[in-house]
Structure 1
């Protein structure tokens, strides 16, 4: 009996109708990483794939688009979620084609740091006891700190095989809580989950066994943790903060 495939095997944009849906010279195709994805596609391995890069490099645009193409709410939520406040997504998600894994679970969840406040309100307004997982009772996320609410969301939503998209989840987390996220992702993968995550965190990107794609003017390129510009800059800053701060502070 063959091994079950991950929920998403490949992400691509079909050539037919590509020019109409994603015109050259217009956003988001002006972003090198997005153009790279559109022209070459992206194979997703089982386990965790990190997209690491600067602000504006396109990593969040890609994660959001993949989540949308999978059927998740673009402002966060599980497959089928329709919570929305102000549509701002790019046309990339509607243009993507996902090759699904044979025999893989169809459930997924999108954790998007910048829209979680609205998502928590949506959960409160539509609170329904889930018959598949009735215990433990879901917390009231607005009554928790930002970091605590993220960890509770991990506890109540990241507990089964499926496809998980995360957009800069470390934004709400302390150092120790980021390590807790690494542990949660490790357990999730052990249960058969697959993760695509955009991050700025060298702590998160150091997760053993994860695949790293560095995002930048070159598009998308495989990298090891030691090769990341992000890691190089953090190491240099922690060794000599004044070297950086004297340029920032004049």
Structure 2
């Protein structure tokens, strides 16, 4: 994608006039309560913030608005093991570009087991070629959680697509996270767009991305070095002993 007009999703708008109440979940989340419009990067947009700020809720709503299953998969996946998603997607408007993606996937660590089970069930009921072939050909349940998650990302993502990732670092070692951003770069060069909710400074380090931090004050654009995640990690590795002493020291003794 060479310009803003070529990206698959350009902006996310909250239809504020239709929101029933900003006092109930998920509209009472700080990131949603203050949301009007989000401009997305044509290549990679990160949603970051502390637990409870609503980044996964917002990403899930964007995924549902696109047409994904709440638990993940491609647009063809239609299953539900537990219907727990919010109604936020009904109040989002996607401003799309002029080009339609040729591929798409919503990959979330917490429900990836259910996606793997759905693939096996569909392959048992269907004829060859099997779905698992596009995931590397090896049963996702016969690999570790991290390896199956990584195999999906490396093999199933074909390029020229819109890809949503929810906390991928939960399944990946630091080395795999670095391999992931290498693959992200390959896919970006093949006209792909990513929206990623993450806590990982390693993944956030992907150059030229837009980082949107969700806080109690709402959503604001920031840089890697100014995120709370980066600050904590830097503080830990710069002066580990001092930080650990502060954490474990008991002033009452």
Task: Calculate the TM-score normalised by the size of structure 1.
Answer: 0.90
Give the corresponding residue for 1:43: 39
Does residue 189 of structure 2 align to residue 190 of structure 1? Answer: yes
- Larger mean Cα displacement after TM superposition, 99-108 or 196-205: 99-108
Preserved CA contact (<8 Å) 1:7 1:106: no
Tell me if 1:103 matches 2:99.
yes
Contact 2:103 2:157 in 1 (8 A): no
Q: 1:69 aligns with which of 45, 65, 69?
A: 65
After TM superposition, the structure 1 = structure 2 runs for residues 227-246 of structure 1, keeping only pairs within 5 Å, are 227-246=226-245
Equivalent residue number for residue 19 of structure 1: 19
Matches of 2:88 and 2:129 in 1, distance apart?
Answer: 32
Contact in 2 for aligned 1:166/1:197 (Cα 8 Å): yes
Summarize deviations over 1:154-179 as a string: whole Å, max 9, x none.
12221221211110001111111000
Q: Deviations over 1:89-144 (max 9, x none)?
A: 11101221112211222642110110011111111111255699966853200111
| SS of residue paired to 1:72 | coil
Inter-partner Cα distance in structure 2 for 1:173 and 1:19: 37
Paired residues of 1:6 and 1:194 also in contact (CA < 8 A):
yes
Show structure 1 runs of 5+ residues with no match: none
Q: Which residue of 2 aligns with 1:162?
A: 161
My pick for the range that moved more, 49-58 or 92-101, is 92-101
What TM-score results when the alignment is normalised by the length of structure 2? Answer: 0.89
> Equivalent residue of 1:61, what SS?
helix
Find the counterpart in structure 2 of residue 8 from structure 1.
9
Aligned Cα RMSD in Å? Answer: 2.2
Whether the 8 Å CA contact 1:138–1:156 is kept in 2: the answer is no
> Could you give the per-residue CA deviations for residues 172-194 of structure 1, whole angstroms, max 9, x where no partner exists?
11111000110111111111111
Q: Distance in 1 between matches of 2:243 and 2:141?
A: 37
Q: Residue deviations 1:52-76, cap 9 Å, x none?
A: 1111111111111000000011101
**1:116–1:134 CA distance, 2 compared to 1 (3 A):** closer
Partner residue of 1:30? 28
Cα distance in 1 for residues equivalent to 2:177 and 2:64 = 25
> Which piece of structure 1 moves more, 134-143 or 23-32?
134-143
Q: How far did residue 220 of structure 1 move?
A: 0.9
How far is 1:248 from its partner? 4.0
3-state SS, counterpart of residue 126 of structure 1 = helix
The alignment of Structure 1 onto Structure 2 pairs a total of residues equal to: 244
Unmatched runs of 5 consecutive residues or more in structure 2:
none
